[in-house]
Amino acid sequence: MERNWDDIEVHSSTVLTVGFIVNPIAGMGGRVGLKGTDDVVNRARALGAVASAHLKARETLHALKTLLKSSSGAVAIRWVTCSPPMGEDVLREEGFEDILVVYRPTEDTTRTDTSNAARAFMAHSVDLILFCGGDGTARDICMIVGKTIPVLGIPSGVKMYSGVFGVSPVSVAEIVTAFAQGSISTAEVEILDLDEELYRRNEWEVRLYQTAVTPFEPTLVQSAKMLITETGDDDARADIASYLADIIAAKPETLFLLGPGSTVKAVADAIGLEKALLGIDAWLAGKVAGSDLNENDILTLLKHHPRCKLVLSPIGAQGFILGRGNLQLSPQIVRIIGRENIFILATPAKLARTSILRVDTGDRTLDAEIVGDGHLPVIVGDRRRRMVRLVA
Amino acid sequence: MMDSEATVYELSVPGRPGVSLPLLDVPETSFPDVPLREELRLPELSELDVTRHYQRLSQRNFGVDSGFYPLGSCTMKYNPKINEAIAQMAGFAQTHPLQSEDSVQGNLELICRLQDWLAEIGGFDRVSLQPAAGANGELAALLMMRAYHKDHGEKGRTQVLIPDSAHGTNPASTSMAGFDVLEIPSDERGNLNIDALRSACDDTVVGIMLTNPNTLGLFEEQVREITDIVHSCGALVYGDGANMNALTGIVQPRDLGIDLMHFNLHKTFSTPHGGGGPGSGPLGAAGPLCDYLPGPIVERRNRDGGGYCYDIVIPDRSIGRTCTYFGNFAVLVRTYAYIRMLGAEGLKQNALHAVLNANYLRVRLQEAYKVPFDRLCMHEFVCEGVATGTGVRAIDISKRLIDYGFHPPTNYFPLIVREALMIEPTETESKPTLDAYIEAMLMIADEVRKAPDVLKSAPHTAPVGRLDEVKAARDLKLCDPTIFT
């Protein structure tokens, strides 16, 4: 058998411009039990916290360097970054050279530096923002760039509820390479964060702040017996939305409460409801019955319309269907509606990341009732459901 | 890389004749204008041009007759030539489906015997040879379930349970039958998740579509429990017989609690694949479901006063036809020949060797390829074609196999295995062939580390390089618009 790999054609080079940002203090609070690092970095240092974000960033860059080398120049990265300690230093340590510094942070870096850097990256039209940090960093970046630029996180924060993080520093390197090669597309994910000030007072509130886009391997679907095709998250979401729209149209006497998140928003779009991404809205008989509702609004609506269906999708990377990002749905409300009247929607791409769904209403008895026998049918497409494990 | 072969239109030379037509020896007559074309551009080539063109094209084909073809889930076993010889016998090949019953008693006898043999192999009470392919059999089975539930006053059953490892035809058939799909996940041993199944079973369930061995090539270890759970909620169990090559002569699916099952004659029973078929997916049924089978089927009847004959009958509550006439009769003849040639013991030996060959490959390839569900496999197994940190994917390994002279395995199926390579050697391959394949796979594993780019740009020796298969399937162009304008 002949093996002639010396005369193989090399593809023309693809250059990806990547905005790279390291939040040097990310993760420090966690090490000393501070449940976050925002605004308390000095206290964390006093308690003995040391910076670890650089190490995580280097791990990713090291793996990335190897992958780029094995592509024989087919893929190259042009770096747009911040001066030390927010990026340039780590890139140089790992031997990268094509680096443009577009932002110089203050000596003690703060959240403003992250936002400013993101703004500078936008001005330089980067293809991707790669950051090293946690939910706070993700939020600061996505607040600026929204869904205009894909964002990918090297996990190194105290909290990582958002959907932009790779599972490990090495996996992030693989995602960047695949993205540069054009072999993966993007998916919409939620940016969540815990209110750290409340959390440090032992109060829990994970909020959904917005959605962002992140590089994501397209979902493989079978379009024939064994012909596997790739489908984008948007297509899957559109299928789910049109299926739900049919169900909603068939039940004009039922009140539909639509929860937060982009999958549910797609349903709202399909029925013609102008819906806030983060809020809960109500729909009855083809009309809006309430927008951006709080707990009392919902209770009042339920008094008048006991026949109700709740439409939710798992929020964030951990797959919470209740208790994160939708705290308006108090235990009392969930009890009135009942488990059997909850529709859970999730695209296959989302379920690929969160194979287990979670519930945390703050009421353990209710959580146990919702969990039931531990599995829940989730709507994943047009007339298509999947049994997914549910835990409290 | 070989030069590309020009099309017959490109090879055409104006005025070059292929045949010499005799002079017109009947009076010329006028022809209506309407059907006449202004121009019909046909290629002009000599007989030798045509012969060489198609000869060259045929040499670029790859089939079981030319090499090892371990395409998982397709059972690409050798198709014995005796099947063809029998199917070409005038008594079979020259009969017409509209001939009277009494003039085709021999053909009907073959159909009747084959029905009985397949019923015996599956443990079923009755078999219909109507369905024209596996998926046609699936759809017929779902329509039978619908009719059965309707007759029992159960109209609220709308959901069909489908394992996440199932063939894509299962959800497609479900949608065609007007039902909803409820996917059941697999567990960490590659079995159906029993807890999820139990949670899904209620009075809205039509039935389950169960492939055993499943598409991971694994025998469902709790298959009896699965069928009991499904039956206990009043639903039915449909068996997808695609993987019957592992069980023939060893297990009767009916004993596992399966109520209905199709057979893939082109897999298990060595009739030809590909080229558009034709396939055949006979459907077996048990108990009261027999009455719903698609018809016609053939029954033997003893004549008054001695002797017997074969009658064409429609089952009492039949869902109707799924195919014209008697299904794909020529395929049935080949199957008959195959079963007759092997006999019961031969069929069983085939299944045993199919399983032995698959396990031999699994164990030998494990040193280089991760097998995620690592236990004794049946007729096939699935490994991961990915090497972390190299960027090499399953498709690259498959394409590189072409350079080594082997047909690639099935890629990216089942979806529950990352970068799946699904390998099914079948029983007809010898140990030296399997060893040569193992050697190629191990050399490729070595290349993954030493020269990943060679894999990423493979194949290098095929007439054409890496093709966009999805685009080819979705955007099929059978006609060159520059020729037919």
Distance between B197 CA and the closest CA of chain A, angstroms: 8
Q: Determine the 3-state secondary structure of A104 from DSSP.
A: coil
Question: Domain containing A384: what range?
Answer: 228-391
CA B74 to CA A204: how far, in whole Å?
Answer: 54
Chain centre to alpha carbon of residue A349: 11
CB contact under 8 A, B168 and A3: no
A6: enclosing H helix or E strand: none
Among chain B residues, the shortest Cα distance to A169 is held by B389
DSSP A193-261: EE-HHHHHTT---EEEEEEEEEEEPPEEEESSSS-EEEE-HHHHHHHHHHHHHHHHHT-TTSEEEE-SS
Query: Which of A61, A70, A175 to substitute to test the interface with B, most B CBs within 10 Å?
Result: A70
Q: What gap in Å lies between CA B294 and CA B140, rounded to an integer? A: 7
pLDDT averaged over chain A? 85
Arithmetic mean of pLDDT, A349-362 = 83
Residues of A in contact with B460 (CB under 8 A): 4, 8
Q: What percent of chain A has pLDDT over 90?
A: 51
**Gap between the Cα atoms of B413 and A226, Å rounded:** 7
Instruction: Judge whether B208 and B237 are in contact, CB under 8 Å.
Output: yes
Chain-centre distance of CA B365, in angstroms?
A: 26
Q: What is the CATH number of the domain that holds A273?
A: 3.40.50
- E-only strand ranges, chain A: 14-22, 75-82, 99-103, 128-133, 151-155, 185-194, 206-216, 219-222, 228-231, 255-258, 281-284, 287-290, 308-312, 320-322, 342-345, 356-359, 375-381, 384-391
State the Cα–Cα distance between residues B25 and B14, nearest whole angstrom.
Answer: 26
Q: How many other CB atoms are there within 10 angstroms of residue B378's CB atom?
A: 22
For residues A208 and A232, state if they share a domain: no
* Distance from C-alpha of B111 to C-alpha of B299, rounded to nearest angstrom: 9
The pLDDT score that the predictor gives to residue A72 is: 63
Q: Do A374 and B410 touch (CB under 8 A)?
A: no
Q: Is residue A64 within a helix (H) or strand (E), and if so which, with residue range? A: helix A53-70
Q: Is residue A4 part of a domain?
A: no
| Chain B hits for A175, Cβ within 8 Å | none
Collapse the DSSP code of B406 into the 3-class scheme (helix H, G, I; strand E, B; otherwise coil) and give the result.
coil
Q: Is the ipTM of this complex over 0.90?
A: no
Give yes or no for a contact between B278 and B328, defined as CB atoms under 8 angstroms apart.
Answer: yes
Q: Rounded distance, CA A326 to CA B255, Å?
A: 50
Of A220, A223, A387, the CB nearest to B199: A387
d(CA A351, CA A314): 9
Place of tokens 């005796």: B82
Q: Are A245 and A300 in contact (CB under 8 A)?
A: no
Provide CB contacts within 8 A for B136, sequence distance 6+. Answer: B279, B281, B322, B323
Using a CB–CB cut-off of 8 Å, the residues of A that contact B are 1-5, 8-11, 63, 66-67, 70-72, 74, 170, 174, 177-178, 181, 220-230, 372-375, 377, 380, 383-389
CA nearest A243 in B: which residue? Answer: B180
Measured between CB atoms, which of B164, B200, B390 is closest to A377?
A: B200
3-class DSSP assignment, residue B82: helix
Q: Closest residue of B to A180, CA-based?
A: B391
User: A79 near A189, Cβ under 8 Å?
Assistant: no
User: How would residue A166 be classed by pLDDT, with cut points 50, 70 and 90?
Assistant: confident
Pick among A383, A389, A390, A391 to test the B interface (most B CBs inside 10 A): A383
A304 and A207 housed in the same domain: no
User: Are A274 and A297 in the same domain?
Assistant: yes
Could you tell me what percent of chain A has a pLDDT over 70? 87
Instruction: Say how far apart CA B168 and CA B242 lie, in whole Å.
Output: 12
Domain boundaries, chain B: 81-340, 351-472
Considering the domain boundaries, does residue A2 fall inside one? Answer: no
Domain count along chain A: 2
In a domain? residue A130: yes
Instruction: Name the band, by pLDDT with cuts 50, 70 and 90, for residue A361.
Output: confident
| pLDDT one-digit tens code per residue, A75-126 | 889 999 999 999 999 999 999 999 999 999 988 888 999 999 999 999 999 9
Residues A254, A326 within the same domain: yes
List of chain B residues whose C-beta atoms are within 8 Å of the C-beta of residue A74: 453
Contacts of B377 (CB under 8 A, 6+ apart): B213, B216, B217, B218, B355, B358, B359, B362
The answer to whether A169 and A155 are in contact (CB under 8 A) is: yes
CB contact under 8 A, B405 and A1: yes
CA nearest to B242 within chain A: A225
Mean pLDDT, residues A360-372: 90
Q: How far apart (Å, rounded) are the C-alpha atoms in residues B118 and B96? A: 25
A74 & A180 share domain: yes
CATH superfamily of B351-472: Aspartate Aminotransferase, domain 1 (3.90.1150.10)
- Residue from B181, B187, B198, B475 whose CB has the most chain A CBs within 10 Å, to mutate: B181
**In contact, A153 and A142? CB cutoff 8 Å:** no
- Per-residue confidence (pLDDT) for residue A3, from 0 to 100: 38
More confident residue, B298 or A324: B298
* Nearest partner of A97 among A77, A120, A123, judged by Cα: A77
Q: Which CATH architecture has domain B81-340?
A: 3-Layer(aba) Sandwich (3.40)
Tokens representing residue B340 in the block:
């007759």
- Looking at the structure, do residues A237 and A200 belong to the same domain, yes or no? no
Cα gap A158→A193, rounded to integer Å: 11
A197 plus A271 within the same structural domain? no
The residue in chain B having the minimum alpha-carbon distance to the alpha carbon of residue A175 is B391
The CA-based diameter of chain B, rounded to the nearest angstrom, is 81
Indicate if A190 and A244 belong to the same structural domain. Answer: no
**Does A181 sit within 8 Å of B183, measured CB to CB?**
no
The residue of chain A nearest to residue B453, with distances taken between CA atoms, is: A71
In a domain, A1, yes or no: no
> Do A78 and A50 have their domain in common?
yes
Closest CB to A228 among B164, B403, B413: B413
Minimum CA–CA partner of A179 in chain B? B391
Instruction: Per residue of chain B (485 residues), give pLDDT as tens.
Output: 446 788 898 899 999 988 888 898 999 888 888 888 887 788 999 999 999 999 999 888 899 999 999 999 999 999 999 999 999 999 999 999 999 999 999 999 999 999 999 999 999 999 999 999 999 999 999 999 999 999 999 999 999 999 999 998 999 999 999 999 999 999 999 999 999 999 999 999 999 999 999 999 999 999 999 999 999 999 999 999 999 999 999 999 999 999 999 999 999 999 988 655 688 999 999 999 999 999 999 999 999 999 999 999 999 999 999 999 999 999 999 999 999 999 999 999 999 999 999 999 999 999 999 999 989 999 999 999 977 667 788 999 999 999 999 999 999 888 889 899 999 999 999 999 999 999 999 999 999 988 888 998 899 998 888 887 767 777 777 776 666 55
Give dist(CA B44, CA B42) in Å, integer. 6
Round to whole Å and give the CA distance between A278 and A281. Answer: 10
In the predicted model, is pLDDT for residue A201 greater than 70?
Answer: no
pLDDT at A228 (0 to 100): 55
- Strand order of the β-sheet with A14-22 is A99-103, A75-82, A14-22, A128-133, A151-155
Together in a domain, A368 and A287: yes
* Residue B166 distance to chain A (closest CA, Å): 9
Does A322 lie in the same domain as A183? no
**Shortest Cα–Cα distance, A332 to chain B (Å):** 25
Question: Residue A327: inside a domain, yes or no?
Answer: yes
Cis upstream peptide for B296 (omega within 30°): yes
Q: Do A383 and B168 touch (CB under 8 A)?
A: no
SS3 A275: coil
A226 and B167 in contact by Cβ < 8 A?
Answer: yes
State how far residue A95 is from chain B, nearest Cα, in angstroms: 18
Could you give the CA distance from residue B140 to residue B262 in angstroms, rounded to a whole number?
A: 9
pLDDT at A157 over 80: no
Q: Are residues A21 and A60 in the same domain?
A: yes
Q: Do A5 and B447 touch (CB under 8 A)?
A: yes
Q: Provide the whole-model pTM.
A: 0.83
